[in-house]
Amino acid sequence: MLDVGQGLAVHVQTHGHDLLYDAGPPYGEAADAGSRVVLPWLRAAGVRALDRVVLSHPDADHIGGATTVLSALPAAQVLAGAAASAAGQAQWAARLPAGLRVAECAGIAPWTRDGVRFEIVHPEPAVAGARAGPAGAGGHDNDASCVLRVAAAAGVLLLTGDIGAAAELALVAGQGGAALRSAVVVSPHHGSRSSSSPALVDATLPEHVVHSTGRRNAFGHPHAEVWARWAAAGARNWRTDAQGAILLEFAAQADEGVTVSAQRERRPRYWHGR
């Protein structure tokens, strides 16, 4: 999980493929997380092409850097939320590079790369289609966010976009609790009080939960109640505003588990925390 401020961008790398989930926020009119954070990271990691890009929903803090990234790196496929209707397609066309084709994430069949299974587990296709009209066109239907489940031998990573409690209940009901058990959860909506419901926490029971937040953000993310709820369930909380980029390493062997570390702990600098 990259440190993009108040937004979200996650790079998932298997042995031979790379996926980007969201692309961070804009930074005013002249820059964005794509140019300042995401592209430099991908290039330093040796990424020259993306297998897939998943844009959870059209809020600016999740897709503000997408045009920059997609203009610089080829992507075999771009999946997006609220793209099922003509209105949804028009919305994405206005926000992404000209001529780029976008597929609705809901209804996409699970795929496997290098032994790692990827699956869109929310929303259901019918729900996505219903929300791709006027509500989705505004870019604020958080509950229509594409939720991605990444399953490796050592455990599951759950990427949740900005879903709130209602969508979390639908996700748990549709998938069943056992199917959502995860080693790592990216907290919905940056740790907002309106998300991370007891239902989701009880269904996932992760070892780690990661909050992508901006330093001194106006929303108070992650909320203290949310932090405490995950901690009470046995998860270790991580946050990008205080710890920088969070690296999640899933071992090739199931019994070796997941190792989590923070950039500011790996490479401390005297200005951190100031």
Domain count, the chain: 1
Domain assignment present for 273: no
Domain assignment present for 158: yes
Domain containing residue 171: 10-266
Domain assignment present for 2: no
Locate 67 and state its tokens: 């045009």
Domain assignment present for 53: yes
Domain assignment present for 140: yes
How far is 87 from 192, CA to CA, in rounded Å? 28
Q: At 139, is the pLDDT very low, low, confident or very high (cuts 50, 70, 90)?
A: very low
Domain assignment present for 274: no
The residue that leads in pLDDT, 16 or 94, is 16
Domain assignment present for 104: yes
The residue that leads in pLDDT, 212 or 90, is 212
Domain assignment present for 31: yes
Asked if residue 242 has pLDDT above 60, the reply is yes
How far is 63 from 140, CA to CA, in rounded Å? 12
Helix boundaries (H) for the chain: 33, 39-44, 60-63, 66-72, 86-95, 125-130, 134-137, 165-175, 177-180, 198-204, 224-232, 240-243, 263-266
The confidence score (pLDDT) of residue 128 equals: 56
The confidence score (pLDDT) of residue 127 equals: 58
User: Contact 192/168 with Cβ under 8 angstroms?
Assistant: no
Q: At 131, is the pLDDT very low, low, confident or very high (cuts 50, 70, 90)?
A: low
Average pLDDT value for residue range 237-243 = 95
How far is 55 from 52, CA to CA, in rounded Å? 10
Domain of residue 36, CATH code: 3.60.15.10
Tokens 């990827």 label which residue?
118
Q: Which tens digits make up the pLDDT trace of 93-127?
A: 888 998 898 999 998 999 999 999 999 999 987 65
